[in-house]
Amino acid sequence: MELVKINSGSFVMGSEEGEYDEKPVRKVNISNPFYMSSTPVTNVQYEQFDPHHRMLRGKRGLSSEDNEAVVYVSWYDAVAFTEWLSIKEGKPYRLPTEAEWEYACRAGTETLYNTGDSLPVIYHLNQRNVWYPKEVPLTVGKTPPNPWGLYNMHGLIEEWCLDWYGPYTGDDLTDPFAYHDSDFRVTRGGSHNTDPVFLRSANRMGMIPENKHFLTGFRVVQAEMPARLTVEREDVKKWAEQVIQSPSDWTSRVDMDEPYFSEPIYFQKIPSGSDGPLYSQHNHCPDITPLPNGDLFATWYTTVTEQGRELAVAASRLRSGADEWDEPDLFYKVPDRNMHATSILWDRSGDRIYHFQGMAVSYGWGDLALFMRTSEDNGLTWSKPHWINHEHGLRNMPIAGAFKTSEGAIIVPCDAVTGMEGGSAIHISTDDGITWNDPGAGTPRPEFDEGKTGGTIAGIHAGLVELKDGSLMALGRGNNINGYMPMSISEDMGRSWTYSASPFPPIGGGQRLVLMRLKEGPLFFASFTGLHDDEKRMEFTDKEGNKYTGYGLFVALSYDEGKTWPVRKLVTPGEGEFDGGAWTGEFVTDDARAEPRGYLAATQSPDNIIHLISSRLHYRFNLAWIEE
């Protein structure tokens, strides 16, 4: 392995023109020289340590030759290689710290790249945002080195660093290696099949350390392990401030025998002009759960574009007895990975809260892995990620509406495809989240027609409920049957589904339905009277028994396990003007006109109040109001 001596020195780390996590810039002193491998570690080098890795060569059409950069290695794999190499050669090897990596990459330059403020085409390997990678050669050392003799510092592959990921402080530092814990390890350098902006010298990325995929490998340094500085995190999130831990009896503030409907309030209140880590441009795809302490907790994604690598998960808390939601804050973000999407669930057999999360390799929501975290203290602190499916691919994008069956199985609905048609999948755990399976995985794409069967739910963004006989029923968006929203029934816990037409109108872009069981027994359904732009109306009956046609958001009840839905009610506060955010925007309501579209999620709290949220608004009502 060829090593290059990197002399001690100082540099300005970060970029004032870069992303929020590259600021504030600070002067960093590297006090000791070190040696860095001139190229990333190759397949032939790595496989001297781990011969079994050879079976991963060529996966997804990448890195099949001896002298190509090794990929599909976790942070722990990379560290194990350095430990093996240290023993083999009798010299101390390790991963570079983040500061060492940027110092060596810059090689005395202060521009966006060590080549200047642009990256010459000779360094490009399909440098654009893509959902799936184009096959490109990952041969090391083929492009010109930087001024200090290091190859492939911009692109080729991302490279693991030694550090836990954390926010910069404004202090000038010597040999920074600060944080003692995080959910992510730093990666640097960018890679093939990504936009050049992610290849800049200052750009910071990160990964869950167990994760491995086709973008990331590593290089080594020869140097003693640095001393760790102690830097305390000061970024306490608003949703984690002053969280009461005493259990609530959830005593209702309203008479539940009387109809109750409250004026909708905003749960998503990101200030205009926010540009990271929360974004004011697009907030969407929420979920909501009550907590044991009497609070409500909502999560959703926040981004500039739905495909972008900036997409993160935000959260807010409606505290017990409060009339307004807290200001939101960042909930979860693997740096520079699209986080499509999020779901949250309180297991009411105890105090555990589940957070289910999809995570892309980079851009878009096609190559997702799926993991979960848990909280035992009302969402104050959360566990490390636990994999549901670590293999990036389809069928891993969680949808709101996870639930626990009567037999104790946790079911997490997920989109099975990236587009508007193609259906939904489920992941099931029967041991409280320790192990998981997708019962429909590997089955062929079905024909979503009346009476047909298949291993995938008809329609994306499916709502799912357990029926009293133990079977599962789902309704979805798209894959319409005979002009109606499709219904899927499974009698074998999701291994196969039988398709039929539901009695409900189909919905489309910017709309998502809800299906759940109320504590009082009926099935509860929330959706829209039609596509947002077709002004399709449905017939409703007001509380005086008069029939009228209405438009927009409605709810329905079934008392016979989904066979009929005799109660249907428009969800409108009467005359009003609202901003639904996301794809909804501003809209006007009256007695016959409700919110036209939004991504719906719902829960029923222990006091029996139904909480229905769209992309920005929070509606509250009870069963008596629906039946009125």
Which strands, in side-by-side order, build the sheet including 34-37? Answer: 3-6, 34-37, 221-222, 93-94
C-beta separation of 409 from 428 below 8 A: yes
Model confidence pLDDT, tens digit, residues 142-165: 999 999 999 999 999 999 999 999
* Stretch 511-521: mean pLDDT: 98
Residues 191, 193, 198, CA angle at the centre, nearest 5°?
Answer: 50
- CA triple 20-24-30, angle to 5 deg: 120
Locate the domains of the chain by residue range: 3-222, 267-398
Tell me the one-letter amino acid at 562. G
Instruction: List phi, psi (to 5°) of 48.
Output: -65, -30
Instruction: At 59, give phi and psi (nearest 5°).
Output: -60, 135
| Beta bridge pairs of residue 587 | 578
* Tokens 């794809």, located at residue: 583
> Looking at the predicted structure, is the pLDDT value of residue 205 above 80?
yes
- Residue 313: CA atoms inside 13 Å, Cβ hemisphere, count? 25
Per-residue pLDDT, 526: 98
Whether 234 has a pLDDT exceeding 70, the answer reads no
Burial of 581 per CB tally in 10 Å (0-12, 13-18, 19+): buried
CATH top-level class of 3-222: alpha beta
CB atoms closer than 10 angstroms to residue 321: 9
Average pLDDT score over the chain: 96
pLDDT digits 0-9 by tens, 360-390: 999 999 999 999 999 999 999 999 999 999 9
Q: Averaged over 133-138, what is the pLDDT?
A: 97
Domain 3-222 shares a fold with domain 267-398: no
Average pLDDT estimate for 112-140: 97
Query: Are residues 309 and 337 in contact, defined by beta-carbon separation less than 8 angstroms?
Result: yes
pTM of the predicted model as reported, rounded to 2 decimal places: 0.97
Closest CA to 474 of 133, 328, 454: 454
Mean pLDDT, rounded, for 442-471: 97
What's the order of all strands across the beta sheet hosting 497-501? 453-454, 497-501, 486-490, 472-477, 460-466
For 267-398, CATH gives 2.120.10.10
Rounded CA separation 396/360 (Å) = 10
pLDDT for 170 equals: 82
How much is the pLDDT for 178?
72
- Reply yes or no: is the peptide bond before residue 24 cis, omega within 30 of 0: yes
Q: Would you place residue 285 in the very low, low, confident or very high pLDDT band (cuts 50, 70, 90)?
A: very high
pLDDT value, residue 229: 67
* CA gap 457, 441 in Å, rounded: 12
3 state DSSP class of 198? helix
Rounded Cα distance between 98 and 177, Å, is: 8
In this prediction, residues 315-321 reach a mean pLDDT of 97
H helices of 341-498, where? none
Question: 207-219 burial by CB neighbour count: b if 16+ within 10 A, else e?
Answer: bbbbbbbbbbbbb
Task: Report the half-sphere exposure of 394 (CA within 13 A, side-chain side).
Answer: 17
Does the structure show a pLDDT above 80 at 554?
yes
- pLDDT tens digits, one per residue of 557-607: 999 999 999 999 999 999 999 999 999 999 999 999 999 999 999 999 999
Supply the DSSP string of 5-40, one letter for each residue: EE--EEEEES-TTS-GGG-S-EEEEE-S-EEEESSP
Which pLDDT value is given to residue 533?
75
